Amino acid sequence: MYSLFLVLISIFGGFLGSILGLGGGIIIVPVLTLILHVDIRYAIAASLISIVATSSGAAAGFLKDHLTNLRLAVLLEIGTVTGAITGFLIGKSVKASFLFLLFGVFLLLSAIMMFRRRDEAVAVKNHPWAEKLKLDGEYPDPRSGALIHYTVANVPIGLIAMYFAGMLSALLGIGSGIFKVTAMDGAMKLPMKVSSATSNFMIGVTATASAGAYLFRGQVRPEIACPMALGIIGGSWVGARIMPHLPSGLVRKIFVVVLLVVAAQMIVKGIQG
């Protein structure tokens, strides 16, 4: 019964995640910890495994639209992977109650971010590093299909932001897409579609750094991680196909309420210790 419940919840998590553009971890970690009472450290490790699965499966799709900036992704991965290593090392000495608290705050932030307006601020000049590595690129305008050229600003700030995104990813078992996108939109001034696609493309590598480390440490339990990964792969596959036919605005509003409730529960659990 419990195993079936876990698979069903993971299918649902993957489904919802792909509709809302969020990772499954945001749903799975609270379910594992609050309902099944699994220790949060096992939940985090299992969640990272499913992030690796979904992002590796989806990478081809992101590349197809010519929105992913491959060169920039590789550079920024240095930041995210270094951050993930730090997160993994810190995680060893961090108390479970602190992780609950941090996760709760992250959920609150995610709820707020779901309704933020993303302003398009386009950089006019390449940062010197971007110039040297030829990081600027082109993307097709959705209406006319004409190629629009863009430049990349503030590369060092972007790298530092990626470091923190990677750290949170390893600590909480999340993809950290929200933070990556915010840094690329805000600091590096990339076109929104380019930052979303590039962020998604990077998530798999970021999660692999910590998922691999957790696997070797014995924190990834196959009894939890395998059904979860399978459910999420299946759920997100279905979600991606149904998405165009769903009123995502309504789903989004309902989900924000759920996020807020779960955030409160995680925070309370964190405070109670």
Partner 1 sequence: MKNEDELLSLEMKISRFLRWGVLVSGAVMLVGWTGTLVRIHAGWAGNPYAIYETYHSSPLVQEIASDFQAGSWPMLLSYLGLAVLIALPMTRVFLTMVLFFKQKEKTLALVASIVLLLLLLSMGLGLEI
Q: Which residues of this protein are in contact with partner 1, per CB under 8 A?
A: 2-3, 6, 36-39, 41-42, 49, 52-53, 55-57, 59-60, 62-64, 66, 70-71, 74-75, 77-78, 81-82, 84-85, 88-89, 96, 132-133, 137-138, 204-205, 207-227, 229-230, 233
- Smallest gap from residue 106 Cβ to partner 1 (A): 20
* Least distance in angstroms from the C-beta of 238 to partner 1: 14
* C-beta closer to partner 1: residue 88 or 100: 88
How far apart are CB 57 and partner 1 at their closest, in Å? 4
Terminal C-alpha separation, the chain:
29
Nearer to partner 1, 21 or 57 (CB): 57
Identity of the residue, 94 or 246, whose beta carbon is nearer to partner 1 in the bound complex: 94
Contacts of residue 51, defined as CB under 8 A and 6 or more positions apart, other chains included, come to 23, 24, 25, 173, 174, 175, 203, 204, 207, 211
* Amino acid letter for position 164: F
Q: How far is the CB of 149 from partner 1 (least distance, A)?
A: 11
Residue closer to partner 1 by CB (options 145, 249) is 145
